[in-house]
Each structure stands twice: as C-alpha cells, then as structure tokens.
Amino acid sequence: MRIDVVSIFPEYLEGLKLSLIGKAAEQGLLDLNVHDLRDFTFDRHNTVDDSPYGGGAGMVMKAEPWALALEHILGEGPRGASASVGDHDGEKPKPILIVPSPAGRVFDQRVAEDLAGAEHLVFACGRYEGIDQRVIDWAGEHFDLRPMSIGDYVLNGGEVASMAMIEAVSRLVPGVIGNPESLTEESHEDGLLEYPIYTKPASWRQRDVPEVLLSGNHGAIARWRRDRRLERTAEVRPDLIAKLGELDKHDRAVLE
Ligand code: SAM
C-alpha cells in the first residue's frame, strides 16, 4: 500500500517511522511518503494561508499549494509491487484522498477495514480553519474523496488525525502485524469491546488473576471472555450493544 501525507509540519509524521508501522515501511509492505506543503509555494515567505472571504476569525489554507502538491502525488502514480493491484482492464482505481476534518464522516474500525484494501491513500492535513473548499471540490474529480473525522472534538491540525487513521489502517494490511490472530479478538472487531487481560504474576498486591484463566479449560475461558466483553460493552458503550444482531440465550442472560 502506498501512503502519501501532505502537511506543513512533516516532522509530526516522524512517529510513523517507529515500531510496527516503521518496520512495515522498511520491509516494503508500506510505501510511506511525507510531503511538505510549503515545497509547493513560490513566494519568499512560502505562504500557505490567507484571510477568509466573508470575514471571521482565523486563516484559511490557500487552494494553489494544495493543488500543486496533490498534482505532484498524482503525477508520481503508484509505485512498487502494488502498482497493478486493482488495475482491472486498464481501469485504475483513483487514489483515496482523506481530508481530516471535524466536519467529516466519523472514522471507525469498519472504515479502517475498508481502507486497508486500498492501493493508494493520500492524507491532506489541514491547519488553521481548514482548506479552501474549491481545491477540495477540484480534488474530488481526481481522487476518491473522503472527508474524515476521528471524533467529535476539534484538533489544531490534521496530522494527529492522519496518524491515528494511518496506524489503524496499516495494522490491518496483511503482514504488518506479525501474528494476525491478535487482530481477531480486539475491541470493535465484532462490535464488542475487549475482555480484561492479565499477565504474570498470577497474584499481584493481593489481586489474583481470575481462576478460570489458569484452568486450561479453553471452552470455559472463551465463555468467560465473551461474558466480560458483553458486560464491559453494556457498561461503557451501550450504543454498541444496541447495534448487535440477534443474541443467544446465554448472551441475553449476561446482559440482564
Ligand atoms: N474550522 C474547522 C471546523 O470548525 O470544522 C476546524 C479546523 S481545525 C482547527 C484545523 C484542522 O484540524 C482541520 O482542518 C482538520 O485537518 C484537523 N482536525 C481538527 N479536528 C479534527 C477531527 N476531529 N478529525 C479530523 N481532523 C480534525
């Protein structure tokens, strides 16, 4: 998968070079490219913003540097071994352009799963009050445009939001997480939150690991874990319980 990120603070994205995502990039599973928006300006001050038409507080990111940066990315095209993925009968899918915005559709695990199958993702990190709408409309003609929010709160810029989305998507790309089984029982994988987890020692400051986990009885452990997932989800995220499909008798009894 190729991932391009455009930002006026490319240093923010340095964290992506660490840990599993960094390793995946080193191994060529991810082709990560960070672009400095100011490289696409030509005035002495490398200006990327101006005051908003119609008045109001704050500044707005100018259309032209964004268009040049995105054209640069389009011009480079997909690279490496993944270049032909999805290239059916010569029809290439458009790169997906994610514009982080509190006004976007809320990003969740389902969106992450969908994006994990993409060949090329581009993240446009806004700052100030955001980006001139005209370049976003223009980009919609060249990219598969997805304005995306990471939650109902406001950040200062799109970098942290992009990093959160890149991490959530990348770890679903085959090969990025060493043991794919660790993805299957996670929170949000099937609509429930994860069960409580423990490691050695079995007793710590008079607190014991639940006995069933030491029993070696896999059926009982699986049942205990599902029960705790149901209880935890009902307690902290009742909205998720409401979205679950038909529950069996045992599940219903746990929730009563
Ligand atoms: N004026 C914008 C509004 O009211 O919708 C907020 C702009 S915010 C200060 C600056 C940038 O931070 C946005 O362009 C976006 O890139 C990013 N951002 C802020 N909150 C976000 C969120 N919840 N999800 C994704 N990106 C966010």
- Which pLDDT belongs to residue 81? 39
Asked whether 60 lines ligand 1 (CB < 6 A), one says no
Q: What is the CATH number of the domain that holds 15?
A: 3.40.1280.10
Task: Give the residue whose CA is nearest to atom 11 of ligand 1.
Answer: 157
State the Cα–Cα distance between residues 109 and 123, nearest whole angstrom: 18
What is the mean pLDDT of the segment spanning 57-78? 93
Q: Are residues 129 and 232 in the same domain?
A: no
Last residue of some domain: 137, 159, 180? 180
Q: Are residues 146 and 217 in the same domain?
A: no
Query: Is 157 part of any known ligand binding site?
Result: no
Residue bearing the CA closest to ligand 1, atom 7:
129
**Ligand 1: centre distance to CA 229 (Å):** 33
- Same domain for 236 and 216? yes
Instruction: Over range 77-85, report the average pLDDT.
Output: 45
The C-alpha atoms of residue 213 and residue 210 are separated, in whole angstroms, by 6
pTM (2 d.p.): 0.92
pLDDT, averaged across the chain: 93
110 & 135 share domain: yes
> Could you tell me the sign of the dihedral formed by the alpha carbons of 138, 142, 143, 144, in that order?
positive
Residue nearest to atom 9 of ligand 1 (CA): 156
**Residue 21 to residue 217: CA distance in whole angstroms:** 35
Residues 218 and 242 both lie in one domain: yes
Q: Ligand 1: which of 49, 60, 101 to mutate, judged by most atoms within 8 Å of the beta carbon? A: 101
Using the atom order of ligand 1, give the atom closest to the CA of residue 58: 1
The residues, ordered by sequence, that sit 6+ positions from 40 with a Cβ below 8 Å of its Cβ are 64, 65, 66, 68, 69, 72
Ligand 1 atom nearest 61 alpha carbon: 14
Is residue 242 scored above 70 in pLDDT?
yes
108 is in an annotated binding site: no
For residue 91, name the pLDDT band (cuts at 50, 70, 90): confident
- Cα 149 to middle of ligand 1, angstroms: 8
Q: Give how many domains the chain has, as a whole number.
A: 2
Check whether 251 is labelled as a binding-site residue: no
Q: Does ipTM top 0.95?
A: yes
Whether the CB of 156 sits within 6 Å of ligand 1: yes
Domain's final residue, options 161, 180, 199 = 180
What's the CA dihedral at 89, 94, 95, 98 to 10 degrees? -150
**Token digits for 66?**
């964004």
- Please tell me the least confidently modeled range out of 42-46, 67-71, 75-79, 101-105: 75-79
Give the chain's radius of gyration (CA, Å).
Answer: 22
pLDDT in tens, 134-176: 999 999 999 999 999 999 999 999 999 999 999 999 999 999 9
Regarding the beta carbon of 101 and ligand 1, being less than 6 Å apart is answered yes
In this predicted structure, what is the pLDDT of residue 78?
54
pLDDT number for residue 85: 39
Name the residue range of residue 249's domain.
187-255
Q: Is there a single domain that holds both residue 198 and residue 171? A: no
Q: What is the CA(128)–ligand 1 centre distance, in A?
A: 8
Residues 6+ apart with CB under 8 A from 114: none
Q: By alpha-carbon position, which residue is closest to atom 2 of ligand 1?
A: 129
Q: Determine whether the annotation assigns residue 150 to a binding site.
A: yes
Domain identity same for 116 and 71: yes
134 CA to centre of ligand 1 in angstroms? 17
Return d(Cα 121, Cα 1) in angstroms, integer. Answer: 8
pLDDT at position 76: 75
Give me the CATH number covering residue 232.
1.10.1270.20
Q: Are strands 203-204 and 207-208 parallel, antiparallel or unpaired?
A: antiparallel
